[in-house]
Structure 1
C-alpha cells in the first residue's frame, strides 16, 4: 500500500489540527441538534486506540442524509474566518459525494490537485448515509446507479494514471467525452441526489455510504446499528460512535482489534502539506 512517511512531529501536528476541526464540528452539531458518528479509520481509532490510529493522517465522520444537508445549510449560511466547506454546493468542480471541512489557508493536497482549480486544506471528511431499498432488484439497481454516478463524477474532472491499462483507457475516454460535452461534476451530483431521493424510506433496514461505491464493493450497514450513539474517548475529548460499532467495524475491517502488518498501514500520498499560520 502507498504510505506517506511523516516524521513524528509533523504527523502529531497534523493530527492536532484535525482534532481542532473535530471539536469545532461537534460544537456546531450540538448547537443545532445534529447527530454525527465517528467513521471508518477514525471509528477504528476511537475503539482500538482511544484516538487516532498512530499512522493515520485523516479524520472521518458520517451523518444521515437529513442531518448532513442541515449541517451544510447551517455552515454555508454563516461562514466563519477559520473554516471553509468544500462541497458540491460551494465548488462546482468538486467531484466527490462527501464534503470536507477545511482550515482556511492551509494545504493537504494529493497529486490530482494539479488537475482542478480549487485547493484542499487540512480537513475532516464528512461522509453520508443514505437509505437502501429492501427489495433485492431495486437494491441492485440503486447500487449500480450509485456506482456509475461516482465514476462519472471522478471522470468528469480528473484523469487517474495509477490504474490497469484497460481501466485507464475507459476512464480517459469518459473524461474526454464528458469534457467535450461540458458536463460539470455539479450537474452529475444533482442528478445523483435526485436519484437517491427516490429511495428515501425511514423504515429501510439498511443504509449505505455512497462514496464507497466508487470501489468494488459498496459499504452497506444495518440502519439499526446507527440507531443510538454512545460516547467514547478520542484523544482528549469524548465523541459519538454508533452503538452497533462492532458490526460496522467487522464489516469494514474484519478482525479490527488486530493490528495490520506494517506493509498494510496506509494513509494519503500528500504532495503539498502546509500548516499555514497554525
Structure 2
C-alpha cells in the first residue's frame, strides 16, 4: 500500500504500516531471545499493549527500549539480522539517521521521512530502539551527564527538536548553525556520547532516558522498574514490558489509560512517501529533493 504523508493516511493505510512494523518487532524478539538480550515495549507501544492489546489505532511507529549494555551488544551485531532480511542502522561518521537510537529496517519497503530526505540512508519502514542509561551519583555528575546528553542529542539528531517550544527550538537552531560541518558535528556528538555513558553508575538505583527529550533528562525513573519484565499481549503475541510499567507510565503520561483529546489522536511522523510493498530505491528520494 502506497501513500504520502502518514498524517493524512486512512485507517487502512495506517494499519498496513503497523502490520509491517509488527513483523519487524517479532524478528527483534526472536534475535534478542536467541542472544539473551532484554528489551521492553515502551511509550505509545506500551500504552497500546495495555489499553488495546495492540497498536493505538493512530500510532505510526513502535517504540522499544533496552538497557545500555544490551543496546550496545545488539548494535555491534547487525549480522544477526541478515537471515531475518532486516537492516540495522545507527548514526555514525558515515551516515546520519537524524535519530539518536537504532533503527531496524525492512529493506523491502519504503519510508521517506521529511527530516532525513537529504540523507543517503536506507529509507524503509523501521522500528526504533532506544537506550536506557543509569544516572550517576551526586548532583554535579548528574548535571554533567545531562549536559553531555543535550550536546549528544542535538548534534546526533542534527535537526530542530520536535514537539518543543521556542525556548528550546531557537537555541537549538543557533547551536546547529554554529557547527555547519557534518564531520565536526560527528566528533562533537561522539565525544559527548562517550562522556555521558562513562558516568553511568548502577549503584545510583536510578535510570534515565538520555535520548528522549528535555523532560526525560530531569525525570525520576527508579531502576527497579526495569530490573525485570513480564509479558503482555500485543497484536496476538506476547512481548516483554517493564515490571514497573504502571509507575513508569504514570510518571511520564499521568492517566495513561484514558484517551487523549481527539485532536491529539494523529500520527506523529511527517513523511514524503510510504510503501509497504515496494523496496526503497534512491530515485524515490531524488524525486522529493528536486521538488523541495
Q: TM-score range by the shorter chain?
A: 0.7 to 0.9
Contact 1:97 1:189 in 2 (8 A): no
Name the counterpart of 1:34: 37
1:119-268 alignment runs, 5 A limit: 119-155=122-158, 158=159, 170-180=171-181, 182-185=183-186, 187-213=187-213, 215-218=214-217, 219-267=219-267, 268=269
1:26-80 Cα distance to aligned partner (Å, 9 max, x none):
0000100000000111111111111111111100110001101111222246634
1:167-209 Cα distance to aligned partner (Å, 9 max, x none):
6654444334322484143x33421331123212222211111
Measure how far apart 1:223 and its partner are: 0.5
Aligned residue for 2:211, secondary structure, equals: helix
Aligned residue for 1:271, secondary structure, equals: strand
Aligned residue for 1:25, secondary structure, equals: helix
Measure how far apart 1:238 and its partner are: 0.2
Q: 1:244, 1:164 → 2: CA distance? A: 30
Q: 1:36 to 1:217 in 2, by over 3 A?
A: closer
Q: 1:230 to 1:195 in 2, by over 3 A?
A: same
Stretch deviating more after TM superposition (101-110 or 60-69): 101-110
Contact 1:65 1:128 in 2 (8 A): yes
Name the counterpart of 2:273: 272
Q: 1:245, 1:201 → 2: CA distance? A: 22
1:54-133 alignment runs, 5 A limit: 54-76=57-79, 79-80=82-83, 82-89=85-92, 91-133=94-136
Contact 1:88 1:189 in 2 (8 A): no
Measure how far apart 1:109 and its partner are: 2.4
Measure how far apart 1:153 and its partner are: 2.3
Aligned residue for 2:149, secondary structure, equals: helix
Q: 1:160, 1:81 → 2: CA distance? A: 33
Aligned residue for 1:120, secondary structure, equals: coil
Contact 2:111 2:123 in 1 (8 A): yes
Contact 2:209 2:216 in 1 (8 A): no
Root-mean-square deviation (CA, aligned residues, Å) is 2.7
TM-score of the superposed pair, with normalisation by structure 1 = 0.87
Stretch deviating more after TM superposition (254-263 or 135-144): 135-144
1:140-173 Cα distance to aligned partner (Å, 9 max, x none):
2211221122122234xx4689987786654444
1:189-238 Cα distance to aligned partner (Å, 9 max, x none):
4213311232122222111111113x344254111001111010001100
Contact 1:153 1:189 in 2 (8 A): yes
Contact 2:81 2:88 in 1 (8 A): no
Q: 1:181, 1:19 → 2: CA distance? A: 34
Aligned residue for 2:180, secondary structure, equals: helix
Name the counterpart of 1:51: 54
1:1-37 Cα distance to aligned partner (Å, 9 max, x none):
x981321221111111111001000000010000000
Contact 1:40 1:60 in 2 (8 A): yes
Q: 1:274 to 1:245 in 2, by over 3 A?
A: same
